[in-house]
Every structure is written in structure tokens, then in C-alpha cells.
Amino acid sequence: MDPYINVDPGTLNPYEHGECYVTEDGAETDLDLGHYERFLNIPTSQANNVTTGKVYQTVINKERTGDYLGKTVQIIPHITDEIKRRIKFVARKNQFDIVITEIGGTVGDIESLPYIESVRQLKWELGPQNCLVVHLTLVPYLAATGELKTKPTQHSVKILQENGIQADVLILRTEHSLNDALREKVALFCNVDKPSVIESKNVSTIYQVPLLMLDEKLDQVVLRKLNLPPGNEPELKVWKTFVKKLQNPKRKIKIGLVGKYVELHDAYKSISESFVHGGAVNECEVDLQYIHSEGITDQNAKEKLAGLNGILVAPGFGNRGIEGKISAARYARENNIPYLGICLGMQCAVIEFARDVLKLENADSSEMNARTPFPVIDLMEGQKGITEKGGTMRLGAYPCRISKDSFTYDAYQKTDTSERHRHRYEFNNKYLKQFEASGMRAVGINPESGLVEIVEIPGHKWYVGVQFHPEYRSTVVAPHPLFVGFIKASMGE
């Protein structure tokens, strides 16, 4: 549940809200959904991300069509009923036993109040053993006095109680371990039993958190409060192996991430996490260097990209920083440095190759230059005539057929896959024969539309551009093969 009024984050600048995550069924969602997929290894859908914009849009549309039979439409019951409907819909649609719902924002935010009221109603409707409220609070550490302070937690719980909700479990974010006396104090002042005061201590990697929650017996507390059988202890062997490899790498490499939103690392969150997954498989620490594309030119590329074992050119939209991305693609190609271009990064590799190898002067994407004489990247046919920005791109998972003699096939070890997309422009097939005759091959094709999905330069150490977003599918249990292959190539293997 995201309290902002945007219908989805698809039109938000990444500086505002970090990356926009895309689900299999084409929903543009908050980046938190990416975290859930990476942890659970379960695909999410449009139903899993709800915004205030979606809720109000639905209610207003119903009012316009007369669904409320002339009633006065209000926050209670109409908005809260719609919020509750969306929470329960996820369970009905997928036949889940338990739905975990995150309410974004902070207790006390005006924009979060309808969601908190909806939870109050749900708890009353379903009963205490069918609805559990887990409240996350901060326990700050005052270095001057050397103590942890519980007052912010007490106040947060009090505000929640004023809204009619008693927290069942408290998870306390902290820099230092909580002692028994502090846990007892929180339990007493916040009206919960002591086992329900859970420590969430700062750790070196977010992937340690599930193991810490297991040590804190959070799972047992939740099952007990929901009156569910305890069952067997979770099987986390794969997870523990992953964390062990992550914390004990045998090698270290530097990868340059070239983009235009590099000041905010959350703008490329799925990419950075994919390097964590792929690095652990290779028992290699990936030192990700964030490099602003606006600062790169053909003249200074050697200086800006020095010392890198691999170069990734990131996705994005618009003209700003595009020439720097093209220069980075050229530097990787000419110096035999492993290269991975994602979405716009693939298109930049195509533009660079057209200009420098095919000698098509001023070749470009029609997104950047509508008057280019050689639009090697052009607007997709299905996108022509579309004027609205929100949710109108080519979104979601589409099939791709991979040629066997390719870097990509070596990574996937199969010829057919399905990957998620978020774009309006595509490789212009009018130029395909010229590219392939000069050494850039289309090794991945959409079997239904003929869209070029993957390009490679066979004589290169490892040079791959993909129109899709492989980072959206990478998880702890199933690291994306392209990131695994790219890291392996960057290690010199």
C-alpha cells in the first residue's frame, strides 16, 4: 500500500522514488515489490501494489457509473471498503492462506490514515486470530549518553492506539542489541507480551535479516498469535549458503554502472542487487562504481572508465547523458572490456556501432533526434499515436528465442526464455542485414513480432545488449544468468 496519489510510479522521476519495478503482467510498481520478489522467489502482479491514486480512481469511476445508487461517497465506507477489497482480493485470486500487507509511510501521516482505518476495520471484521498488526519502529542510539531510547517507539505505538489499533508485534530497528530490561520496558509500556518485542539490528547486508528474524523466533510468534500449527523449522540451507558466499568472496572486481541517475543508488536498485546475486554465485565481490554518463566523452572515456573489469550501461529515457552512454559503449567495444547494455544501454551500443563501424553519420534513435537520417532505433509501431504517459509503454514479460552460438545461450543454457520489458523504442529491422554483415548479430528475437531482443559482437570477449530488463527477474535463489555470465567474463573466466 503506497499512500501517494500517483496511480503508479511509472511517471515518477527516479530521483523522486527510486527505480520503477515491472511485474510479469506489466504493472509499473514501487521498488519495494522488487525486494519481495528477490526474497520470496515468487512473481508478483498488478494486484500486489496499491496506491491511493488507484483506490480513488476506482471509487470515482464507480460513482460516475452510478454503482453507489445515489449515496454520498465518503472516505468511510467507500474508500476504506475499496482498500479492504484489494487486500482480500490478493488472497482470493491466488488462494493464499496469509496475505502480508505493508502500509507505506509513517504513523501520523495524513495520507496514511485511510489505510490505518481500513486495517482497524479488518481486524474487527476478521477477529484477532485472523488479523495481525506488526509495527516497525526505530530505537535510536544516543552516542553522547551511550543508551538506546524507547520514547519514539512508545509515542508511535500511542498514535497507533489513538487510531484504534493495538500492535500485536513490535519490530525494533536498532544499531545495538536490546537487553532484557529494555525489551521488558517496551512490552510493558506498549501493551505487548515480551516475546513479541523483536530486535532488528543493523547488519552488513539486508540478506542477513531473515536469518536474524528466525533467531528472534518471529515466525513462531506470528503462528502462535494466528492460532496456526507451528510446523517444521524453515529450510534455509540455500539462503545460508548464499549469505556465506556473499560474506566470504574469493575474488573482487570493479564494474562501472554508467547512468544518469547515479546520485541516487535506489534508481538502479534491481541492477545493484542482481550483481549481489550473480557475485555470490561466482564467489566474487562486485565493487559497483556509479559513473555519471553526462561526464563521459570519447576524449575522456579512458580516464573516466579506467580500471574497470566490466561496463554496464543502464536503462533510462530522454536525451540527457545519452552521448556519454554511447562513448562508454564504444570504449568497451574498442578495448575488449565485457559489456552489458540494458534497454537504452542496448540501444546506445547499436547507435555507436552504426556511427563508427557502419559509418552511418548521425545515426541515432528517433527518441533523441526525430530528424536523424539513420533511425537505427525507432518508435515501435504499436506506440505511434499514443499520447498518455502512464502505463502506455510496452510492459511486462514477452518471449525471446536465443541463438545457440552466443554468449547469451552460454549463460541461459536454453533457447527460449521470457523477460520483462519497459520501453517504447526498438531496433529498426531495416538495418539488420547491415549490422550482421559488419559483425553485430541479433542473437535474441521475439518469435511473434520479430523484435530484436539481444545483440552481440561475437569476436569480443563478452559484449551483450538486451532490450529487456534482466534485473527484474534476478532473485537470491535464482540469480539471473546474464548477470552471472557477465560477472564471470569480467573475472576473466
Helices (H) and strands (E) in the chain, counts: 17, 19
Cβ atoms of residues 286 and 276 within 8 Å? yes
Q: Please, is 280 exposed, middle or buried when counting C-beta atoms within 10 Å of its C-beta (0-12, 13-18, 19+)? A: buried
Cα–Cα dist 353/435, whole Å: 8
- Number of residues written out for the chain: 493
Q: What does DSSP say about strands 141-142 and 147-148: parallel, antiparallel, or unpaired?
A: antiparallel
Q: Which residues contact 436 (CB under 8 A, 6 or more apart)?
A: 442
Active-site residue among 135, 421, 469, 480?
A: 469
Q: Say whether the peptide bond before residue 77 is cis (omega within 30 degrees of 0).
A: yes
Cβ atoms of residues 118 and 80 within 8 Å? yes
Active-site residue among 19, 28, 285, 471?
A: 471
DSSP code for 76: I
Give catalytic status of residue 469 as yes or no: yes
Helical pair 269-281 and 32-40, crossing angle rounded to 10 deg:
20
User: Residue 123's Cα: distance from chain center in Å?
Assistant: 30
Cα–Cα dist 283/277, whole Å: 10
**Which amino acid appears at position 299 of this protein?**
Q
Cβ atoms of residues 324 and 448 within 8 Å? no
Cβ atoms of residues 342 and 271 within 8 Å? yes
Cα–Cα dist 213/314, whole Å: 34
- Using DSSP's 3-state secondary structure scheme, residue 454 falls into strand
Active-site residue among 284, 343, 348, 400?
A: 343
- Using DSSP's 3-state secondary structure scheme, residue 394 falls into strand
Q: Which residues contact 128 (CB under 8 A, 6 or more apart)?
A: 168
Give catalytic status of residue 471 as yes or no: yes
Alpha-carbon torsion 334, 340, 344, 347, what sign? positive
| DSSP structure string for 407-446 | HHHHHHSSSEEEEEEEESEEE-GGGHHHHHHHT-EEEEE-
User: What region, left, alpha or beta, does residue 173 occupy, with left being phi > 0 and alpha being psi -120 to 50 degrees?
Assistant: beta
Long-range CB contacts (within 8 A, 24+) of 351-359: 351/326, 351/376, 351/377, 352/326, 352/327, 353/435, 353/438, 353/440, 353/457, 354/431, 354/435, 355/326, 356/330, 357/438, 357/439, 357/440, 358/431, 358/434, 358/435, 358/438
User: Residue 180's Cα: distance from chain center in Å?
Assistant: 37
Q: What share of the chain is helix, strand, coil (3-state, %, to 5)?
A: 40, 20, 40
Cα–Cα dist 323/484, whole Å: 28
Which residues are known catalytic residues?
343, 469, 471
